[in-house]
Chains A and B, each alone.
Chain A
Amino acid sequence: MTTTASTTETEPIGLSTDHTQAVQDGAHSHGVGGTPQGSRAERITSFDPTVITVPTGREEEWRFSPVPRLAPLFAAELGSAGVRTTVVDAPEVTVEIVGRDDERLGRAGVPGDRTAVTAWNAFAEATVVTIPAEAVASEVTSVRIEGLSDEPTATHLLIQAERHSESVVVIDHVGSATLTETVEIVVEDGAHLTVVSVQDWSEGAVHASSHRARIGRDAKLKHVVVTFGGDVVRVTPDAEFTGTGGEVEMVGLYFADADQHQEHRLFVDHAVPSCKSRVTYKGALQGEGAHTVWVGDVLIRTEAEGTDTYELNRNLVLSDGARADSVPNLEIETGLIEGAGHASATGRFDDEQLFYLQARGIPEADARRLVVRGFFAELIQEIGVPSVEERLLTSIEAELAKSMSVIEGR
């Protein structure tokens, strides 16, 4: 078997890679210290906390993370009082609180790192949101997870979109918490589901979240991650196709300020033929110690003929002292695919754009705002949930107001 691994790390600024059409060529590897730990297929996954042990920080999946700050979530015993979950559901949708023994739980993927395995083993009760077969939800279903204290806490949410249903579920994280979370997403045959997870935490929040999605035959998942708040946020969305003709669109938007760590690690597992994946993540950074990490793993297994995949990450660094890591990995085990590619670019704020806009009379602060809004605009339009789009624009304005005060104060 020939495996092609392509790794690029852009660290921290001004580097980019563009393999718009990567191929199975057996010799395609580059980057700075960039060889991943073997194939993504060999990564250990388990529900057993004695199998996935406490990391040291040197492991591939933890090497960018502030491990000491996440350490409270590595404990085998975690509480459940740190957050309160409330759901406002669409009339067609059902919501249940169930015990650990509910047989529907634990069927989308398997934990792949320590916080995911502790989340699975420590949660007391799970919230199950079900969109019944062939139901078309007339409204957005909102899941609000509100931080109440810094007690290390585990939660579990299952979103089950039964066959041929259509719905939108928005998960909102607010307040402050120390939380490890599992979001199981099951998209049954022919269902269309949009899941939006917004990390709008207050200062002090530490959040690890394992999103595990299983996408059935001809099913479609749009998965959106938006991260603005919190001290440390580490989201690891996994998507696995279980039937042909499935499609996943993964969109992410993040904005890191001084001393915030925002990490998004994605894995798309093409295990069956004729599925399509699109990953687009964009982030902006400003302030000393702002750190973002994006890792996008795509595996096209031998059986996954006719796969069509593309992933993109772009970062816009607005000030000195911020760092963006970007690592796209593409493994291709079959040559019989529709297309596979990735691109990554991290750049500073473009002074030529600023000059052009200012030369038309637009003051610097407004010009910066235009450029950053423009950077995110296309991505925001892709979300397709108007209430989320509006909120995002407001959040971006608020972030920009912070950077303007930095500029004007210097």
Chain B
Amino acid sequence: MSTLEIRDLHVSVETKEGPKPILRGVDLTINSGETHAIMGPNGSGKSTLAYSIAGHPKYTITSGTVTLDGKDVLAMTVDERARAGMFLAMQYPVEVPGVSVSNFLRTAKTAIDGEAPALRTWVKDVKGAMENLRMDSSFAERSVNEGFSGGEKKRHEILQMELLKPSIAILDETDSGLDVDALRIVSEGVNRAKANTDVGVLLITHYTRILRYIKPDFVHVFVDGRIAEEGGPELADRLENEGYDRFLTGAATA
């Protein structure tokens, strides 16, 4: 059982004109087994939240805390956060030329577990996970994300989530740019990980579409760097019908 607690998180990003505040006091608690959806319009700070928690150097935490089972996440390096059990599926996964997927996965698994995985079971696990995500076995020998289509990159992210078995996973717009088939395959992967590992999921999305495949327990509407409204799955339905206009007007007059 793990708990990720975000308390009054303020984050700014460095610009030519000086630091620009993006997150303005985010409070959120995610427990193992729970699925939280964060929805919001473009530019509301959803991705900033994801990358700040993962420790991207571009973002400066100006105040607030993030803890995982009471441990200070913000004091950890990026790799320490991952080894503590955090995972970020990125919206734009990065190409690493010359590093094969199989080498990358094995290196990551070894780092996370603190020891190399037993070869035979590992090969079987990777093969099985790739088959489940309808990834051709030739994928393993390709360079990480190099020449991957948008759908292939997202499947590769979920492959890592299934193999690395994090306690808390943040999925940053994993659904964007996917056709219906790919969306279904990726969602199945997330649901498998949930069933197999009791992972707590923070699902960041612009659209309600993915929520038909991955059922959220909680929905948070993110506007102007903070959570504007919270509710159950029914809130997603309401957003589907009404869009974000209601919140945007509210933010403008606030």
Contact = CB atoms under 8 A, between A and B. Distances in A.
Interface of A: 350-353, 355-364, 366-367, 370-371, 373-378
B112 interface: yes
B107 A355 contact: no
Contact of A355 (B78, B95, B112, B160): B78
Contacts of A351: 57
B104 interface: yes
Interface in B96-111: 96-99, 103-104, 107-108, 111
Nearest to B92: A352
B112 to A, nearest CB: 4
Nearest to A356: B94
B99 A370 contact: yes
Given A358-B79, A374-B143, A363 B111 contact: yes
B79 A362 contact: yes
B1 to A, nearest CB: 21
Q: Which of A359, A373, A376, A378 has the most CB of B within 10 A?
A: A359
A239 B164 CA distance: 51
B98 A375 contact: yes
B127 interface: no
Q: Which of B57, B79, B81, B99 has the most CB of A within 10 A?
A: B79
A373 B108 CA distance: 16
8 contacts: A352-B94, A353-B96, A359-B87, A361-B83, A361-B112, A362-B111, A363-B79, A377-B98
A358 B83 CA distance: 10
Contacts of A352: 94
B4 interface: no
A396 to B, nearest CB: 12
A243 B127 CA distance: 51
Contacts of A371: 96, 99
Given A359-B54, A359-B88, A370-B104, A364 B98 contact: no
Interface residues of B, number: 29
A353 to B, nearest CB: 5
A404 B225 CA distance: 38
B33 interface: no
B111 A374 contact: no
A373 to B, nearest CB: 7
A374 B99 CA distance: 5
B197 interface: no
Nearest to A367: B79
Top 5 A-B residue pairs of the complex, sorted by shortest distance between their CB atoms:
A374-B98, A377-B98, A361-B82, A358-B78, A360-B108
A359 B76 CA distance: 12
B42 interface: no
Interface in B61-101: 77-79, 81-83, 87-88, 90, 93-99
Given A360-B111, A361-B111, A366-B111, A373 B82 contact: no
Contacts of B57: 351, 355
Interface in B169-202: none
A370 B78 contact: no
A356 B96 contact: yes
Given A355-B78, A358-B77, A360-B108, A374 B96 contact: yes
A156 to B, nearest CB: 37
A359 B78 contact: yes
Contacts of B112: 360-361
Contacts of B90: 356, 359
A370 B164 contact: no
Given A361-B79, A361-B82, A370 B107 contact: yes
B93 to A, nearest CB: 7
B56 interface: yes
A376 B78 CA distance: 26
A351 B83 CA distance: 20
Contacts of B98: 373-378
A315 to B, nearest CB: 14
Nearest to A350: B94
B82 A359 contact: yes
Contacts of A367: 79
A194 B87 CA distance: 47
Contacts of A361: 79, 82-83, 108, 111-112, 164
Interface string B110-152: 0110000000000000000000000000000001000000000
A53 B97 CA distance: 45
Contacts of B103: 370
B96 A358 contact: no
B171 to A, nearest CB: 13
B99 A360 contact: no
B74 to A, nearest CB: 15
A360 B94 contact: no
Contact of B82 (A350, A358, A366, A375): A358
